[in-house]
Amino acid sequence: MNQQQRLQHFLGTFPQQEPVLLEKELIYTESYCLEKLLLDLNQQEPVPAYFAYPYGNQPVPFVLFNHSHGGDFTSGKEELRSSSSYLQPESFLEALIEDGYAVGAIDMWGFGEREQGESALFKKFSLYGQTLWGQRIYDNQQFLSYILSRTEVDSHQIATIGMSMGGLMSWWLAAVDERIALVVDLAAQVDYQTLIDENRLDKHGYYYYVPGVLTAFSTADIQKMIAPRPRLSLVGQSDPLCPIAGVEKINQELQAYYSSLGQPEHWQAKIFKGAHEETKEMRRTWRAFLNRHLDSIDSR
C-alpha cells in the first residue's frame, strides 16, 4: 500500500464509476465560453459545476478552482464568477481566462445548489464510516476526470487553486491525485499539531478533522506527497486560522524535502502583511507563479 492509498483509508471508500454528464447549458459565449454543467459524480446526488475556456488555440491548461467556506453556504461555485469579500474584486474566472487558461469549479457538498446542513452531512457520512472531507475531495477528483475528457483541455497541464477551505482542498487534492501538476493555496497552510498545541482547533470547521489521520501522518507528511510538483503557499502574517508556528514548521520540512528531490525552486512559501484574505500582492504572486510554472510543464 503506497502513501496515497494509506491516506485514502482515512478519508473513506468511494464508488468506482466514471463521471456522467447529465446536463450542459451555454450561459456565455462572447469573449470566452462558459458552461453550466450538471454531473453524476458520486451515485448520491447530482453535482452542479462551471466550466469555462478561452477561444483560440486549444487545448489549453486547466485550473480547478476550489471555493472557500466562510460560513456562506449559498455561494459555492459562484465564488469563481463573483469573488468574495476577502478575495480581490476581479474574479478568479476573469483573471484565469485573461491569462489563457480554462477553469472550472463545483458546488462542494453542502454549498450552493447543494446547500444543506453541514452538520447533518458530517453525521450522516460518519454513520456509514465515511468522512465529509473525503467526500468533498472525491467529488473534485471525479470532476477532474470529467474535465480530462474535454478536448479543450491539455491533460498534462492541470493546476488547482483556492482560498481558505478551497486552499486546503487544493493541497489535499494534489496529495491524493497525481494528475494535478501544480498547486496554489491561499490562507490554507494549517498544521494539525500546531492547532492542538495553540488551542486553535475551533478556528476550523469540524468537516476538516479526519478521524485517526494523525496516527499515521503529520500535516507535512501529507504535503510531501505533492513533491516534486510545483507548489506555492501564501498566507497572511496575522491570519488566526494559519498559526505562523505551523507555517514555519511545514516550510522547513518541505524546503528540505524538495531540495532532497533536486527541485528546491518548486516549493515556494510566502508570508504577506494581512489576515485571512487574498491581498493584491498575493494575486500578483500566484498569477506569476502559474504563468511561469504551468506553462512550462511538458504537455507531451
Instruction: Tell me the backbone φ, ψ of residue 166, rounded to 5 degrees.
Output: -65, -35
pLDDT in tens, 44-92: 999 999 999 999 988 999 999 999 999 999 999 999 999 899 999 999 9
- Give the residue with greater pLDDT, 58 vs 297: 58
Is residue 129 within 8 A of residue 118, CB to CB? The reply is no
Is residue 136 within 8 A of residue 42, CB to CB? The reply is no
Residue 219 has pLDDT above 80, yes or no: yes
Averaged pLDDT, 188-196:
97
pLDDT in tens, 9-27: 999 999 889 999 999 999 9
Averaged pLDDT, 31-53:
97
Is residue 226 within 8 A of residue 253, CB to CB? The reply is no
Q: What is the pTM of this model?
A: 0.96
If pLDDT is split at 50, 70 and 90, which confidence band does 296 have?
confident
Residue 295 has pLDDT above 90, yes or no: no
Q: Which grid coordinates belong to 46?
A: 447530482
Interatomic CA distance for residues 186 and 290, integer angstroms: 14
Mean pLDDT score across all residues of the chain: 96
What local confidence, expressed as pLDDT, does residue 57 receive? 87
Is residue 65 within 8 A of residue 161, CB to CB? The reply is yes
**Residue 299, strand partner residues:** none
Is residue 75 within 8 A of residue 164, CB to CB? The reply is no
Is residue 191 within 8 A of residue 235, CB to CB? The reply is no
Nearest Cα to Cα of residue 30 among 52, 48, 61:
52
What local confidence, expressed as pLDDT, does residue 278 receive? 98
What local confidence, expressed as pLDDT, does residue 299 receive? 57
Interatomic CA distance for residues 143 and 97, integer angstroms: 19
What does the DSSP assignment read for 64-78?
A: EEE---TT-TTTGGG
Alpha helices in the chain (DSSP H): 3-11, 79-82, 92-98, 118-127, 132-147, 165-176, 192-197, 219-224, 244-260, 280-293
Residue 300 has pLDDT above 70, yes or no: no
Burial profile 69-79: b = 16 or more Cβ within 10 angstroms, e = fewer = bbebbebbbbb
The 8-class DSSP code of residue 29 comes to -
Interatomic CA distance for residues 63 and 273, integer angstroms: 26
What local confidence, expressed as pLDDT, does residue 25 receive? 97
Q: Which grid coordinates belong to 209?
A: 478533522
What does the DSSP assignment read for 14-27?
A: ------EEEEEEEE
Amino acid (1-letter code) at residue 111 = F
Averaged pLDDT, 175-204:
97
What percent of the chain clears pLDDT 90, i.e. is strictly above it? 93
What percent of the chain clears pLDDT 70, i.e. is strictly above it? 99
Residue 267 has pLDDT above 90, yes or no: yes
What local confidence, expressed as pLDDT, does residue 298 receive? 67
Within 10 Å of residue 300's Cβ, how many Cβ atoms? 7
pLDDT in tens, 124-147: 999 999 999 999 999 999 999 999
Residue 1 has pLDDT above 90, yes or no: no
Averaged pLDDT, 156-167:
98
Which contiguous run of DSSP H or E holds residue 186? Answer: strand 182-186
